Chains A and B, each alone.
Chain A
Amino acid sequence: MTRITMTVDGVSYSDEVEPRTLLVQYLRESLGKTGTVIGCDTSNCGACTVHLDGTSVKSCNVLAVQADGHEVTTIEGLAENGELHPVQQAFHECHALQCGYCTPGMIMQACDVLKNNPDPSEQEIREGLEGNLCRCTGYHNIVKAVQQAAGAMSSSSASSASSAGSAGSQAVSS
């Protein structure tokens, strides 16, 4: 067993884990973060996607011990102050989910796509989400949702940047 310490959705945890424990298993079984789910055993489906230090990772592809000392954000920590993240809101408005099983991973990956490219083309969105499988939606509305979120995020960051100086600059400049 190995002791690890990490921050997940703003809370600090310290646990003994078997070295072979996957990050997703640690999140689900030890921390009860069941919003993050497992859809395959070959790291193809992306249902378990979370953010590790702000970058998307498939948490089935990371050992819990590798996340020691790092910061993890899951779908459960994405909304802030009771307000949905613009990507969550867009998924709802665009009907970008049906059964909802791929949705946590898809939203986390979409956030990462938009962080790296705030104004992606349809093709860039499609390629950015290529590692996340969905069986219900045919991706059509997921792509629309990411486009809508991109618009919402750029207009909100533009307005906050102009009104509050540097507050929105990170999103604008990245």
Chain B
Amino acid sequence: MTITEDRAADAATPEIGRARTRKEDARLITGRTRWTDNIQLPGMLHLAMVRSPFAHATITAINTDEARKAPGVVGVVTGADIKDVQGAVANAWPITADQKTPDHLPVVVEHVACAGEIVAVVAARTAAEARDAAELVDVDYDELPAVLDLKEAVKDEVLAHPALGTNTSAVWTLDSAAQGSGTDVEDEIAAARSDGVVIEREFRQQRLIPAFMEPRSTVCDPTGEQMTVWTSTQVPHILRFLVAATTGIPESKVRIIAPDVGGGFGGKLQTTPEEFATIAVARRLGKPCKYTETRSESLLSGHHGRDQWQKLTLSARKDGTVTGLKVELLADLGAYIGVVGGGVPVLGAWMFNSIYKFAAYHFTVRTMLTNKTWVDAYRGAGRPEATFAIERMMDELAAELGRDPLEVREQNWITHDEFPFTSVAGMTYDTGNYEAATAKAKALFGYDELRAEQRRRRESKDPVQLGIGISTFTEMCGLAPSRILGTLNYGAGGWESASIRMLATGKVEVLTGVSPHGQGHETAWSQIVADRLGVPFEDVEVLHGDTQISSKGMDTYGSRSLVVGAEAVVRAADKVIDKAKVVAAHLLEASVDDIEFTAGKFGVKGTDKGVTMPEVALATWTGHNLPDGVEPSLDADATFDPENFSFPHGTHLCAMEVDTETGATSMRKYVCVDDIGTIINPLIVEGQVHGGLVQGIAQALWEGAEYDDQGTLVTGSFVDYTLPTSADTISFVTDHTTSPSTYTALGTKGVGEAGAIASTPAVVNAIVDAVRPLGVDDVVMPCTPERVWKAIQAGRAVSTEGDRDAQPHFDEGAPNQDPGAASPESTSDGSQS
């Protein structure tokens, strides 16, 4: 099957910056795919999991007799059967030395800490037989009281893990005065209380579910000398290490393959109980085993994201200059601490101050254990939460001052001539131009025209009001400099690895340690290498996701693939060029110092003599005529450890229409201008932005993981966990400004998470902006019509009674709680503080 390419390759045009259609597509659009669940091996058994329906319980007995007798059943395995060999689900980032970390067994032996935990595994000839038999496993539970609410958990009245003695896992703090990067936040707040402005708000980051489209699947073949595991993962290399580290299987005996992987968004950066259980059962039975989760299992047992309460105090002078920001977070880890775990909120610690020049900053997070599904990274991981909070606060500050929210931002942001700029949190931003991105976004959006329309509609008391939401965000990408990770107590490095193999026929194989699952690395890496080595785009083959092929890597998450992974590729390519230069000089009978390499050709300065890279590769392969002492290979490896993070930024503008009579909202326009540094492939970049936008918009409007008071996930299927559809969304206007990063050779900054980070506050700010004249200053996410309507009713009640507190304080009752939680009549006392 051939794909017709309209864009004829022009050898003179650089590949970097070209909107190449993707190499990956040919198989994906024709069904020639290699999802893990497609794999069939001779004699393969299918697994089904028996899961706890209880959120917190002790297992008193498991009777597997009936299940074992069922047709096709080869084995039924309980936690007790494999307790010494199953390994453990690990946390790689204990955020403090005294963090409380509950043991996390893949198949529980005695203590169930959240609904959905695996209690037993059935292996049968077919998936249907395994599932049928799983129904026959009889488990006796003693149900224990469960702690489900994050704020209740703080009280330690009910414990998620009684053996730990507390629900608090860790408390982690960053303070600008203590670390010397700014003044004391309490001083700034005190000063503002007497002669300035203090904004205090509490925001809820609801629990989300990553909801990648491909349910997770694992196949383990234990029959070879080296055990092979295919699995739907973002992190084959990390999984290999942790399987070895926790089961005792030598690392050299473990091969992990991530074949085609259908999305991740952080949801597949976990090493999962299901993977460990599949490995343990396959090894026990000596047969290849496959486990593929149902969607309902996926929503219940794959890790969740976000889930924070955020208490913010922002101080400013009367002229609008921000002075201090105090952030107090409660973060729900759920029942266990995942591979990143408490590191997720910690990643937000450097981002709450965002692009603004605060003098003082304080951040504290208390990570809590509860009896719900565990929480870990979801697209953005810590930075969306931070961006939401600060961008909502900047709007609240502007409202308090009665000024345009863009103008207040501009007054406080780092100007383009102030880079490099060390933030109050201690991060040094290398480049950026917030003015340029904002100016472009305003023009594309028609900001002034929409503001004029908003005024007209307010004056005419249009029942459908228009709101404009702003998000001028930055984020940090490129996880991560190993030395910084070391100071943060992370268990591994943040480097990335690459190899380049020059084949005799002139083709090039690129091995990369990052592990894509939809990002288009094969295309983008080909463009980078084609430019660097001067070979055709089509001649580059990118190999990844198999620990036997790309043996070293730290995998894909945290917008790191391009800014860390591709930097390793560039360095490997440069080593190839250096090696090839020596051979080319010999072939051209010239000095190495006189060899110039441009556009794939080695030339001799001042002559027209030259040889191409493929010619050098062939000459090296034959080895017939090499300089003395030179090995017959141009292949090279490189491992790159970044010196810093990168800091993309952008200005996102959103227009929302809000029906004040029904609470219904609809998106009128969304414009974003992102500065992600140098763009390798604009087509891929646009796609990343679009997808990120919708995930962020979905947090604002539709999605939320909800539990009942028994600890049962009630949004446990796609009927109830409401992913947006094409009919819910609009087409977006996306554009770019470019200030290349100085931290990367290519000038790239990362784009994978930008859309999801920036869009959520833009949408909520727009809704609040639309109904602020009605007395509304917050709507809790997801901003469903019901919540918007109730907020309007509550706001009207307060406005009418005239006792609305313009400058609320935490001490005076509950701050901006969900107005939907109380009836409209009863909210005039507390809900609007």
A residues adjacent to B (C-beta < 8 A):
18, 20, 28-29, 32-42, 44-45, 47, 74-76, 78-79, 82, 84, 88-89, 91-93, 95, 97-104, 107, 122, 125-127, 129-144
Contacts and interface: CB of A to CB of B under 8 A. Distances in A.
The winner among B21, B35, B296 for most chain A CB atoms within 10 A is: B35
- A-B pairs, top 3 by smallest CB distance, nearest first, are A35-B31, A99-B518, A100-B28
B211 A135 contact: yes
Nearest to B723: A133
Contact of B261 (A32, A82, A95, A99): A99
Given A40-B295, A42-B719, A135-B723, A98 B30 contact: no
Given A45-B295, A103-B28, A134 B213 contact: yes
B213 A92 contact: no
Interface string B211-225: 111110000000000
A92 B265 CA distance: 22
B3 A92 contact: yes
A126 B726 contact: yes
B35 A101 contact: yes
B1 interface: yes
Contacts of A38: 37, 215
Contacts of A92: 3, 21-22, 25-26, 29
Contact of B213 (A95, A127, A135): A135
B4 interface: yes
Interface of B: 1-4, 6, 21-22, 24-26, 28-33, 35, 37-38, 40, 126-128, 211-215, 260-263, 265, 294-296, 517-520, 683-684, 686-688, 690-695, 717-719, 723, 725-727, 729, 731-732, 755
Contacts of B31: 33-36, 74-76, 104
Nearest to B294: A41
B213 A136 contact: yes
B757 to A, nearest CB: 14
A84 B726 contact: no
A117 to B, nearest CB: 15
Contacts of A131: 725
Contact of A127 (B22, B262, B727): B727
Contacts of B24: 100
Given A75-B30, A100-B28, A139 B729 contact: yes
Contact of A35 (B30, B265, B717, B732): B30
The winner among B31, B520, B695, B755 for most chain A CB atoms within 10 A is: B31
Nearest to B35: A37
A79 B263 CA distance: 25
Contacts of A84: 1, 3-4, 29-30
A133 B30 CA distance: 18
A159 B588 CA distance: 57
Given A97-B25, A129-B726, 18 more contacts: A36-B31, A37-B35, A37-B214, A39-B213, A41-B295, A41-B296, A84-B3, A88-B30, A91-B29, A99-B518, A100-B28, A100-B29, A101-B212, A133-B718, A135-B265, A137-B691, A139-B729, A140-B731
B28 A135 contact: no
A98 B518 contact: yes
Contacts of B3: 84, 89, 92
A15 B691 CA distance: 41
Nearest to B19: A95
A113 to B, nearest CB: 10
A82 B1 contact: yes
B214 A39 contact: yes
Nearest to A104: B31
B518 A136 contact: yes
A79 B258 CA distance: 28
A138 B29 contact: no
19 contacts: A34-B35, A35-B30, A37-B262, A45-B213, A79-B1, A84-B1, A84-B30, A92-B22, A92-B25, A93-B21, A98-B687, A99-B263, A100-B25, A100-B28, A101-B263, A130-B727, A133-B723, A135-B723, A136-B687
Contacts of B755: 138
B295 A95 contact: no
Nearest to B379: A135
A100 B33 contact: yes
A91 B3 CA distance: 11
Contact of A97 (B29, B517, B718, B726): B29
A150 to B, nearest CB: 15
B726 A98 contact: no
B545 to A, nearest CB: 13
Given A42-B719, A84-B3, A137-B691, A97 B28 contact: yes
Nearest to B40: A32
A140 B684 CA distance: 13
A20 B717 CA distance: 21
Given A99-B213, A99-B262, A100-B518, A135 B726 contact: no
A95 B30 contact: no
A34 B33 CA distance: 7
B717 A95 contact: no
Nearest to A109: B726
Contact of A95 (B22, B211, B212): B22
A139 B32 CA distance: 22
B731 A122 contact: yes
Contacts of A135: 211-213, 263, 265, 691, 695, 723
A109 to B, nearest CB: 10
Nearest to B731: A140
A86 B508 CA distance: 32
B125 to A, nearest CB: 12
Contacts of B718: 40, 42, 44-45, 133
A142 B126 CA distance: 36
A138 B694 contact: yes
A26 B33 CA distance: 18
Nearest to A47: B213
